[in-house]
Every structure is written in structure tokens, then in C-alpha cells.
Chains A and B, each alone.
Chain A
Amino acid sequence: MDYFAQQLINGVVLGSIYGLIAIGYTMVYGIVGMINFAHGDIFMIGGFIALITFLILVSMGLSAVPLILLVMLIVSMAVTAVYGWVVERIAYRPLRQSFRLAPLLSAIGMSFVLMNFSQVSQGAQVKPIPPLITGGYTLHDSGNFAVQLSNVQIMVVVTTIVLLTIFSYIVSRTRFGRDMRACEQDQTMAALLGVNVDRTISMTFVIGASLAAVAGMMYLLYYGLVDFFMGFVAGIKAFTAAVLGGIGSLPGAMLGGLAIGLIETFWSAYFSIEYKDVAAFSILIVVLIFMPTGLLGRPEVEKV
């Protein structure tokens, strides 16, 4: 039971990170109907920016951990948001009215560009950082196994919850959120009613990228390392999460992220760690066989 509880905690933490990335996928899909393949690499860039900011701050003699974390978060979110904006502007906007596969290919190309850009500019080695947040709590100790809840884990989950709250407030209550939902439904009509469609789409990419940056930073803090290739696997998992939850649905993305995180953790813990990704993908396929539009996706009504 203790072992189970520990895996539950680990799974929720991993799931939160996946969920944060998956929101970026699902938002972009909802509004422009394309798979933003470069999103996983945006997540990786976010991790790198956080790492570099951390190095600069430490070498400047800063030692207050909360301050370091705050600056890392802000810089990483801001710079990565610019990445998201530029990627949309260069690779997707010219293709918005094009047929469906063109932006997909362009996105795959962009993903190669970002991945290899960070390989060229920062080297191929794994970049470790010392643990910034240490300590934690022992929730239950049965003598031979102790259920641990570390402070990093608490921070990851709390940050995710706070960001999600802010984010769902933005989407459901603000002017921008209304614009975004309008563009999702009908871009032409939204444009006729005075919504700036271009800006709304750009903002969607900016928000998605900054959430991915948060996920990148959480990944850096939780695992203590970044490398140029981490965006690919994490990106595929997060996209799987978004589809599992029903692409286009925001609560679905979070739910899918948690599901993928939990499946992966439990499979590694109880079966084999080598096949954890196989398990995650297989469950995706099984779920889609029975629910072709994901867990929370609305079934498509086909008009002839």
C-alpha cells in the first residue's frame, strides 16, 4: 500500500508536467486545427533558458532560492513565449489557409530546427544542475518503506494548480479568452465581429509556449537535468495525453496528462521500466478504439 501511495505521488507529479505541455498542444489544435509538432521542443528550450538563467544568477552571487526560482520562472516564460510567437509567425501563419498537411510538415521541420539549434548552440551533452529545492516530508513510515513527498514535488503540483487556475480564468472570464473561444468556433465570423484573429492566434501560441516553459523548468528542477533531445519524447507523450483527453478540450489535456503520467509510473513500478512507453501508447490506442474522440472530446457531428 505504501509503495502504491509513493507511485501515486510520483505519477501525479509527472502527469502535471505532461499536462502543462499538453495544454499547449490542445489550445493550438483547438484554434488552428494543427498539430504543433515543435511544441515539445519549445518545452526543451524553456528548460534550457531556465538553466542558463540559473547559472547567470548563481554566478552573480545570488543565493536566495525563492528569488532565483522566481527570476528563472519569469525569464524562462518570457523568452520561451517569444520563441512560440516567432515559430507561429514564421512557420505556421503563411500556411494557415493551406491544406492540412502543409503546416504539419512545416511544424516537423520547425521541430528539427529547434532541436538542432539547441544542440549546436549548447552542445549535445546532458546538462545537470545541483538540486535547488531540497528536503521533504515522510508521510508514512512502515519500517521497511517510507512514503516520501519531496518539496520539489509539492512545488511542481502547486505551480501546476496555480497556473491552471489562472489559465482557466483567462479562458473563461476575460476578453481574450472570449476571443479565443470565438476563433475556435468560427474564425471568419469572429473576424467580422471585430476580433483580431491574428493576434488571438499569436497569443494562443504565446500562452502555450509559456506554459511549456514552466513545464520545462519544472522538469529541470525535478530531474535536475536538460538535454537537447528531451523535447521529442516529452512532446510525443504530451501530445498523446492531449489526444487521450480529447484534443481541443482543456480539462481533457490535464486529465490525459495525469493519466499518461500515472500509467507510466505504475507500469515502471510494477512491470518493466523498458516497456513504460509501450504501455502508455498501447493504452492510448485501446482508449481510442472505444472512444474515438478521447476521454472528454466531443464526438464530431458529420454534416453531409
Chain B
Amino acid sequence: MAVPKSKKSDGPDVAAPALNQQTATRDRSVASIIKNAVVSALLALVLFSLMIGIRTETGPSGQLTYWTRFGELAAVVGAVFVGSIIVETIKRWTGPLGSVELPDTVRRAFSVLGRVLIPALLIFALLVPVIFYNQRYLLDLGILVLTYVMLGWGLNIVVGLAGLLDLGYVAFYAVGAYSYALLAQSGLPFPYFIETYPYVAIDFLQLGSWAFWALLPVSGVLAAFWGVLLGFPVLRLRGDYLAIVTLAFGEIIRLVILNWQDLTGGPNGVSGIPRPTVFGIPLTPGEDGFAALIGVPFSPTHRLVFLFYIILALALLTNWVTIRLRRLPIGRAWEAMREDEVACRALGINITTTKLSAFAIGAMFGGFAGAFFATRQGFISPESFTFQESALVLAIVVLGGMGSQLGVALAAIAMIGGFELFRGLDQFRMLVFGGVMVLLMIWRPRGLVSHRAPSVFLGRQTAIPSSMVKEGDG
């Protein structure tokens, strides 16, 4: 918890570069580094003396007890002191964060790399099941990452293109997952109306092994319907009012799922969700299984590989639709609305349909991802659809650079992969995750890929810095 040192006024518009440099030269001394470190350590002492120095615990009789942990406290304060010295020293060498501009040649090299990166990533993604066939953990992780890539691309339509801040995207993920799970199981959404049918595993629709493929579009359509339902009340809302309403919407969906026990099974969730089949052929060890049909010995890895390719296809579909839509009038209207809603109105763009279509299409892809999640897990419960999930997807979109498809994919790989890397840290994992999120935002507030491909250009397409792109105010 190093505290930034300089006392300079970096208030609005006052912090001109010249002023920055002046302050930097004035403070360039060892004494100031030490002084800052001491201040940081003192602050850490105030912050942590109670929270770390004292550990409270509920005793067996319900009585609170406590013991002291001065050793840990000293260690943390010491770490802050040393860390502060290191951070300050590095800052002296490199200047303020984020002010380093890459030279043109480096940037051009990056853009060449960027052009190679997309096909390379794509080929790599296609080959992942071949390369890592024997490593189920990596395949599983790949599926997870691709799910988030898809969610990120879906939310990107709403946040990145249309500029509508959505903090409740997980609601559509949940709607998709529950639509698939409930329809595949009971066939009718209100099983308790028909008392003769018990709750689980009826397969009323007689979909059999086609359940996933038949219900995948249905889940998407239902999620899109909920997207429109959310869209209507928020048409007039802007900025943070929109943010809180979408957040509230996500919470409402989760709470209803949690409490409507007759339908959703409440906190126990829904289990026994049908697994996907290779277009009707089940991935089972039996006679009519896929393995027997193509004449190879059965392996449970087949299902993982198949799931991997399904989510890869779904994610690429999301990406392709997004890229195509950006060239259609509706996509242009989204981006125009993000830049200036009033001007759009004046030019005769129908804001209502533009906003609703953005919500609906974004929600539809969320619904697809939800249905995939349900079939992959075989079990869903409201715990999978908390606000943390929405925040994670939003973090992926913003970190990816809002509107950059490649950036979103890279951010999803970095976030989910990083999150998995920290699995060993156990209970510190979320702590580290939050800290990394803060640091990344400070380091690159505009995201990893901070330039955009403009959708309209004269002659040759060139990337523009994303600081020229507005983020919309909902």
C-alpha cells in the first residue's frame, strides 16, 4: 500500500506536463523517498494495527475471544516500508505512470504483431485440444477462458459499442442457463401446475439427445427477451442511473431464482442437466455412443474436446456477428449513439430500437453462453450468478479496451488464466485479484488494446487511439 508521494496538484486541467516535471525534479532526492516510505509505513500501522494486529474469533460458547499478532503486523508494516521505497525509486527512473509514449517504430512493430496475432491465436485455439489432449485440467481451463471470451464479446456489444453501462450482465447468463436446464428437464416452465408430474427429469418435449441443440436457440431468444424487458424501463436513464438499474435487475433475477424454490430448486440448484451430444449421438461409452460409432475406444476426454469446440464456435459466432453488425446500419447507429445521443436523435436515428437491439443482442449471446455453461456443468445454482461474475465480465471488457475484439479476448485470457494461476494462494486469491484489477486500471485505464479500428474510414484503414472514442453515457 504505497502512497503516491508528490504533493503536486493533479487536479483537473491544472496538471500540465511542465508542472509535473518541475515537481519531479524538486522531489528527486533520497530524503524524500525515505520520508514517503516512513509516512506510508505509519499509515499502514494505523490501518492494520487493529485489523491485523488483533485477531478475533468466536469461541465454543459463542463468546468472542481475541489474540494479538504483532509479528504479522510488523511484517506487513515492514513490507509496506520496503515496498514504498522500491516503488518510489522505480518511479524516479521511469517517470509518472502511463506517461511513457512508445516511439513510432515500436508502435508499428506492435501493429504488425497485432495483425499476425489474430490468426496465430485462432490457429492456436483450434489446436488446443490436439496439443493438450492428455491434460484435462488445461482443456477445462481453456473452456472456461473461452466462456468468458464469449461473455466479454457479448457484453462488449452493450458496453463497448452502444456505450450502455451494464452492471447486471450475469442476469442474462443466468436466464440462458436456467432456460436450458429447466426446459431440458421438465419441458414446461411451470412444473408445479401439473401436479401429476414430479419435478425432475421428465423430458416433456421429447427432445431426447437433441436437447442441447434444440434449446440453445431457445435460451438465446429467452435471454434476448429479458434483455428487451430490461431495456424498456432504462430507455430514459443515463450513466450511473442506468448502472444501478442494471445492477438491481441482475440482483432481482438472482434473488428470484434463489427464492422461487418450486421452479428453480432454490439454493439447491438444478442437477442432472442433459449433456450435449454430437448432433444426436451421445458421448457415452455405450454401443450407440460416438466413440463406438467412429470405432475408437471411449474416453471421457472426448466430451471435453467436443465442449471446447462448441464454445469456440459460439465465441467465434459472437465475434463474427459483432464484426458484421458494425458494418450494418444498426451497428453504426450503436456507435453513433455512444458518441452523441442527442446528435443521433437529431439525425433521425430511432434511439428506442437502437438501445433495445443492443440490449437484446448482447443478452442473446449471454443466454447462449449460459446454456453452454449449464450443459457443461450438468448442475447450476444461483451461486454461479452473483454480482462478482458481472464485475468480472465488465472488467474483461474494460481491460480489453472497450470495443476491441482482440483486446477482450486477451483480457479474458489474462484475467481467467491469472485467476487460475493464483489458485495456490487459496484465500488470498480474491485479495490479489482485486489488487491486480486496481493496478491494471491505474497502469492502463484505457485497456490493454487501447486503439480502435474505426468502422468508417477514407481510403486506408488506420487505428485511432481509444482516447478519441467516447465511452457513452448510457
- What is the interface of chain A, defined by CB distance below 8 A to chain B? 29, 35, 45, 48-49, 51-53, 55-56, 59, 75, 79, 82-83, 86, 89-91, 93-106, 108-123, 125-129, 187-188, 191, 196-198, 232, 236, 239-240, 243, 247, 272, 274-275, 277-278, 281-282, 284-286, 288-289, 292-294, 300, 302, 304
Contacts and interface: CB of A to CB of B under 8 A. Distances in A.
Contact of A292 (B13, B55, B236, B255): B236
Given A82-B47, A188-B13, A240-B244, A113 B438 contact: yes
Given A94-B4, A101-B165, A109-B441, A197 B9 contact: yes
A286 to B, nearest CB: 8
Interface stretch (B203-211, B290-298, B387-395): B387-395
B153 to A, nearest CB: 17
A127 B64 contact: yes
Interface stretch (B304-312, B327-335, B426-434): B426-434
A119 to B, nearest CB: 7
A118 B177 CA distance: 33
B473 to A, nearest CB: 7
B1 interface: yes
B22 to A, nearest CB: 17
B288 interface: no
A83 B248 CA distance: 27
Contacts of A55: 54, 56, 64, 66
24 contacts: A48-B50, A49-B50, A55-B56, A79-B46, A86-B43, A90-B4, A91-B438, A94-B442, A96-B11, A106-B441, A106-B442, A109-B433, A116-B428, A116-B431, A117-B431, A126-B58, A128-B58, A191-B12, A197-B12, A198-B9, A274-B259, A277-B251, A285-B249, A304-B343
Contacts of A112: 388, 430-431, 433-434, 437
A129 B64 contact: yes
Nearest to B248: A281
B437 A108 contact: yes
Nearest to B253: A278
B12 A86 contact: no
Given A100-B473, A302-B342, A111 B427 contact: no
A304 B427 contact: no
B159 to A, nearest CB: 8
B245 interface: yes
A128 to B, nearest CB: 6
Given A86-B43, A304-B343, A49 B51 contact: yes
B428 A120 contact: yes
Contact of A240 (B236, B248, B258): B248
A226 B399 CA distance: 34
Contacts of B13: 188
A101 B2 CA distance: 23
B127 interface: no
Interface string B391-425: 10011001100100000000000000000000000
B395 A243 contact: no
Contact of B64 (A79, A128, A187): A128
Contact of A109 (B56, B58, B435, B473): B435
A105 B445 CA distance: 9
Contacts of A187: 11-12
A185 B178 CA distance: 47
Given A97-B15, A292-B237, 6 more contacts: A52-B66, A97-B10, A98-B446, A108-B394, A112-B388, A197-B12
Q: Majority SS of interface residues in chain B?
A: helix
Interface of B: 1-4, 9-15, 43, 46-48, 50-52, 54-58, 62, 64, 66, 97, 159, 165, 233-234, 236-241, 243-245, 247-249, 251-252, 255-256, 258-259, 342-343, 387-388, 391, 394-395, 398-399, 402, 427-428, 430-431, 433-438, 441-442, 445-446, 467, 471, 473
Nearest to A114: B434
A236 B47 contact: no
Contact of A289 (B1, B233, B342, B388): B233
Given A243-B241, A284-B244, A304-B342, A95 B442 contact: yes
A226 B441 CA distance: 31
Contacts of A109: 395, 433-438, 441
Contact of A277 (B43, B52, B255, B435): B255
Contacts of B430: 112, 115-116, 119
Contact of A93 (B1, B10, B255, B398): B10
Contacts of A93: 4, 10
Given A86-B43, A239-B244, A282 B252 contact: yes
Contacts of B436: 109
A136 to B, nearest CB: 23
Contacts of B342: 302, 304
A86 B66 contact: no
B192 to A, nearest CB: 17
A278 B66 contact: no
Nearest to B76: A121
Given A86-B43, A95-B441, A120-B431, A288 B9 contact: no
Nearest to B14: A191
Please give me the 7 A-B residue pairs with the lowest Cβ-Cβ distance, nearest first: A112-B434, A109-B437, A102-B445, A197-B11, A113-B434, A281-B248, A98-B445
A120 B427 contact: yes
A56 B239 CA distance: 45
B402 A101 contact: yes
Nearest to B7: A198
A191 B50 CA distance: 37
B97 to A, nearest CB: 7
Contacts of B236: 289, 292
A243 B338 CA distance: 23
B10 A59 contact: no
A49 B431 CA distance: 19
B368 to A, nearest CB: 25
A82 B46 CA distance: 8
Contact of A106 (B237, B402, B438): B438
A169 to B, nearest CB: 26
A93 B247 CA distance: 25
B58 A86 contact: no
A160 B241 CA distance: 26
Given A116-B430, A277-B251, A105 B394 contact: yes
B66 A89 contact: no
Nearest to A232: B387
Instruction: Choose among B4, B9, B240 the residue with the greatest number of A CB atoms under 10 Å from its CB.
Output: B240
A105 B441 contact: yes
